[in-house]
Structures are given as C-alpha cells and as structure tokens.
Amino acid sequence: MNWKFWKKDKGNGKAPEKKKSKSREWVDAIIFAVVAATVIRVFFIEAYTIPTGSMERSLLIGDFLFVSKVNYGARVPMTPIAFPFAHHTMPVTGTKAYWDGVQWKYRRLPGLSQIKNNDVVVFNYPQGDTVALEQQDADYYQLVRHAGWGAVNSNYTVISRPVDKRENYIKRCIGIPGDTVSMTAGLVSVNGKPEKLKATGNFTYQVEFKTTDINFGAFEDLGFNMQEDINQLSPTMFSFNGTEEMMDKVGKMDFVKSVHPLYRPAGEADPDIFPFDVSRSWNVDNFGPIIIPKKGWTVRLDSATMPLYERCIRIYEGNKLERSGNGWLINGKPATAYTFQMDYYWMMGDNRHNSLDSRYWGFVPEDHIVGKALFIWMSFDTNGSFFSKIRWSRLLKGIH
C-alpha cells in the first residue's frame, strides 16, 4: 500500500516547491509595504506637517496632520513615475524625485463632498509651476517683478514643476466657485456678508500702555509668544498679534490705555498684491470685489477682467492667449469672452498678517486640490525637554 501511494505521488509530475531565502522574503515584504503605503498615501490619507505660522492659532508650527484624499475625491497621479514617499526632491542628493516624461491628464475619483466655505484645505502652490532652485522659499514671479526676468534667470537655476509636484500649502477656503470676495479694513466679505475671523484666527493690533512699567509676564500667561507676537513701536506703543479673545483680555488690563486693530489704509497700493496692478490701489487689508471663477461661467474679456483671469486662461487651462490690437486671441481665434473649464477657490491663512495666500497669488484651480485636513495626530513645541515639547492637549484634535 505504501509503495502504491509513493508511485502515485511521484507520478503527478510536480517538482517540490523551492523555499524562499530569507533575503527574498525581506525583499518581497518591503515591496509589498511600499506599494500598500503608496496606495494609501495617494488615494486615502496622507500625513503632513505645519512648517510656518500662517494658520496660527488654528494650526501651530510643529503640528502633524492627517489629510483625507477621500473627502473631495482622490486625484489620480498626474506625474505617475516618482520615487516613493518623496514629493519633488530626493532627501539626500537634492535631485528631482520624479520623471516628467510621462504626464497624465487631470482626473479625480468621486468624493464624499464638495469643498465648503471655511474648510481647511491642502493644495499645490499655484505659482509653483516655475521655481528658482537657489531661492525655493521665494515666489519666482515675485522675484521677477522685483529684479527683472533677465536677472533672475541668469543668476538662478530656473526649473518648471508639474501640478502635483508643486509645494504643498494649507489654508482656509474663504471663497468657493461663484463667490464674490472682498476685504475692507482687514475684514473679509463673501457675497456681501462680512465674515469675521474664526476664534483661533490671528490679527494685528496696536496696544498703547499707560506706563513704561509693563508686566509682560501677564501676556505670556495669555498665550502670547514674546519674540514673535509682540513688537515695540515706541516706549508705550506695541503691536500685538493675537486672537480677538486674547486682545479683549489685554484691553481689560489696568495698565493698558487702548487696543485697536492695525491695518493698511484703503487706497494704499501694494504691487505684490494680486493682480499686481497698482492702479487698483489694493493691499493686504483692502481689495476686491473679485468673482471666483466657476466651471461653465463666462466672463467678458476687457481691461478690467484680464488682469484677474489671464493666468487662469493661459496657465491653468492651457490656452494660447495673445493680444491683438484692442482685443484678444484665444488659440488663434478672436475672443471677447471666455468660459471657464474648471472650478477655482480663494484660500487665506488664519494668521492674516503673516500669511502668503490668495491675496498674493490669486485663485487655486481645482486640479491643485490635494485633500481636506482632518485632525492633528501629533504636535511638538520647539522649546523644552522631549516630553514637555509634546503639546498633549492637541493630540487627536479635530481641525475646524
């Protein structure tokens, strides 16, 4: 009986399976982990960190966030060939972390919801299409406005980046497609309705004291950072950067004479404010009204609208736009109007006087949207010992 069983087994034609080596098992496990993590990162959820104070005090430097790709619908990678877990630059070599020889059209999977007013959104920096490598923290177009195209392109290494490889920014969505946004004396209005800063939003105030004998320790107790939030203007006059609630408490102190919001006066033009047209006399605290483009909306092309929407038509939607006498040519054809092919958004930081946002570069196209900020999973302060650096009260805190 044993002999027959042995013959039957031997005659099945199958060779005994070769056991994988330990090194092969490790390689297979690493490949699986990288693929699984990449799929999760691209289509479901991704971790981000807050590097600047533009969203203080809603989000602090050292906050680590989870950002959902599912809420607004995951964006299919537009630059599919890239090094895993690197955004646009390799961490050690400093070389490109992607190959732009293959580019896919913008596509987005169905999402759970649309972007709503006041959502906190992560997106690719719209003016990050061109970068001066030696000055990556500076906006290329601002460098050109100040120094001239020839000086910038001769003194720096200038490169272009695909949409999904531009720097990631996080701001609050102030205006959605079709909204009309304006700002007067530092107060934003959306569709004619004033929208005060959220409770955690920072603004600049002028504080006058009754005496030079000032108890600064009281301000630290309120949450002010003495190096970053308070600046001396005169012996008894200071500028404070804080929330409305914090400033209300400052105003009630017996050695404080007065507290007033500090903003740029209307009519004082700033050449770095979008759309970089000093004839409009817009500045960081006074601008608009501006209509945010909506897919299917048609705008008349004239001297008033072109500075606002030229970049959308030319760069974001990829049309050839030329001036022809007193009119315009779009893709070689005369045009007096243009119908937008994408939705756009207006993003601003909660730290209003310390934020580079839509006031400086305009609209955010829908193909630049990365995801919705959900909650803080870890937060570190820069001072103190390891355990005191952890902001325990911010762990697993939702973002609103």
Sign of the Cα pseudo-torsion (36, 39, 45, 47, in order): positive
CB 102 within 8 A of CB 80: yes
**227 or 163, which is more confident?**
163
Find the range with the poorest average confidence among 1-5, 26-30, 276-280, 340-344: 1-5
Q: What is the pLDDT of residue 5?
A: 42
Mean pLDDT value across residues 5-20: 56
Q: What is the pLDDT of residue 34?
A: 81
Q: What is the pTM of this model?
A: 0.89
Distances (CA, A) of 155 to 89, 127, 136, 144, 147: 21, 20, 14, 12, 11
Q: What is the mean pLDDT of residues 365-375?
A: 96
> What per-residue confidence (pLDDT) applies to 3?
45
As a whole number, mean pLDDT of residues 57-66 equals 88
Q: What is the pLDDT of residues 97-138, one digit of tens each?
A: 999 999 999 999 999 999 999 999 999 999 999 999 999 889
Among 55-64, 73-82, 179-188, the minimum mean pLDDT is found in 55-64
Q: With bands split at pLDDT 50, 70 and 90, how would you rate the model's confidence at 72?
A: very high
Between β-strands 397-398 and 193-195, what pairing exists: parallel, antiparallel or unpaired?
Answer: unpaired
Lowest mean pLDDT, pick from 283-292, 349-358, 376-385: 376-385
The whole-angstrom separation of Cα 249 and Cα 69 is: 39
Query: Which pLDDT does position 85 carry in this prediction?
Result: 84
| Angle, CA of 363, 373 and 140, to the nearest 5° | 40
Q: What is the pLDDT of residue 7?
A: 46
Predicted pLDDT at 271: 94
Q: Where are the domains of the chain?
A: 203-261
- Cβ proximity of 198 and 350 under 8 Å: yes
Does the domain at residues 203-261 carry the CATH identifier 3.30.70.3270? no
Task: Name the nearest CA neighbour of 327 among 340, 311, 338.
Answer: 338
pLDDT of residue 215: 87
Across 68-72, average pLDDT: 96
- Class of residue 314 by CB neighbours under 10 A (exposed 0-12, middle 13-18, buried 19+): middle
- State the pLDDT at residue 388: 60
Q: Is the pLDDT of residue 64 over 60?
A: yes
Does residue 313 have a pLDDT over 80? yes
Tell me the per-residue pLDDT of 199-253, one tens digit each, with 9 for 90 and over: 889 999 999 999 998 888 899 889 898 888 999 999 999 999 999 999 999 999 9
